[in-house]
Amino acid sequence: MLMNSLTASRHKITHRIARLYSKLIATPCLLCGTHTDQLSLCPSCAQSLPQLPHLCQRCALPITQGEYCGQCLINPPARHMTRCLYPYQSPIDHLIADLKYHEQLSVANLFANQFATQLQVHPHTMPDCLMPIPLHPIRLRHRGYNQSAEIAKVLSKRLDIPYDDRTLCRIKNTQPQTSLPYSERKKNIHSAFKCCRQSLPRHIALIDDVLTTGHTADMAAKTLMQNGVKKVELWTIARTIRHHSKYG
């Protein structure tokens, strides 16, 4: 317990220093090292990031035309809409790893600002609230911060949408989904969440870093809808594109 507490305190201090540093001093681009502003990437590297093709609005897998893929027309996921910025490939995967495991919190600002810009260029009905996919308290203490929450906080300010990280709670300390084969991920995340408050808004956007199978987001969405939420969107930075996925 003492070690977890010390680790969490160290992460919080590092977090605050990183925020202050990014506001005062030009930092090197995370990809090429060129000095840039607080958004972490120089203009050249930002423009060279990989782009997603036309996607199904429900699961965010590539389709050639229309709004929904055949799988979502037959057996859609629990979430009503999915929005992603990038395919999960180099260098996006390296940037997310820097955010998630190496305390490069400026990456959260970078992606959140890019996401907000995209939403403002292509406006749609905005949700009533933004909720990050929560970490279990044990993992949160160990890491010191939730990368999805860092993204959601910036989005909340940019889009003027309320932020809520207390209603959706993770009650099951699951194994990391990336450590499991596809066939075991749905079982791993089963009953992992609960709503810790009542009187939820009707329309919520869940915020996460990477979408792979979608089981985590769908379990969170089902939990919210069982407690009265009518529409749940998923906003993620990156989408793993698997040609033989059942759905997102």
Find tokens 């959706």 and name the residue: 168
Residue 21 and residue 39 in contact, taking contact as beta carbons nearer than 8 Å: no
Residue 120 confidence (pLDDT)? 86
Residue 246, pLDDT score: 40
Helix (H) or strand (E) holding 109: helix 106-121
pLDDT of residue 158: 95
Helix (H) or strand (E) holding 47: helix 43-47
Asked whether 132 and 151 are in contact (CB, 8 A), the reply is yes
CB burial of 12-23 (b: ≥16 within 10 Å; e: otherwise) equals: eeeeeebeeebe
Cα-Cα-Cα-Cα dihedral sign, residues 38, 42, 46, 47:
positive
Which pLDDT score, from 0 to 100, does residue 36 have? Answer: 80
Q: Is 77 exposed, middle or buried (0-12, 13-18, 19+ CB in 10 A)?
A: buried
Domain ranges of the chain: 52-239
pLDDT at 247: 34
CATH 3.30.70 fits 52-239, yes or no: no
- 111, 112, 120, 193, 194 from 227: Cα distances, Å: 30, 28, 30, 12, 9
DSSP symbol at 145: S
Distance between CA atoms of 58 and 63, rounded to whole angstroms? 11
Whole-angstrom distance, CA of residue 185 vs CA of residue 215 = 7
In this predicted structure, what is the pLDDT of residue 35? 83
The CA distances from residue 105 to 83, 138, 181, 198, 223, in Å, are: 22, 20, 29, 32, 29
pLDDT number for residue 99? 94
pLDDT along the chain (248 residues), means of 10: 48 53 67 79 91 96 95 96 97 95 91 93 90 95 94 96 97 80 81 92 98 95 97 97 52
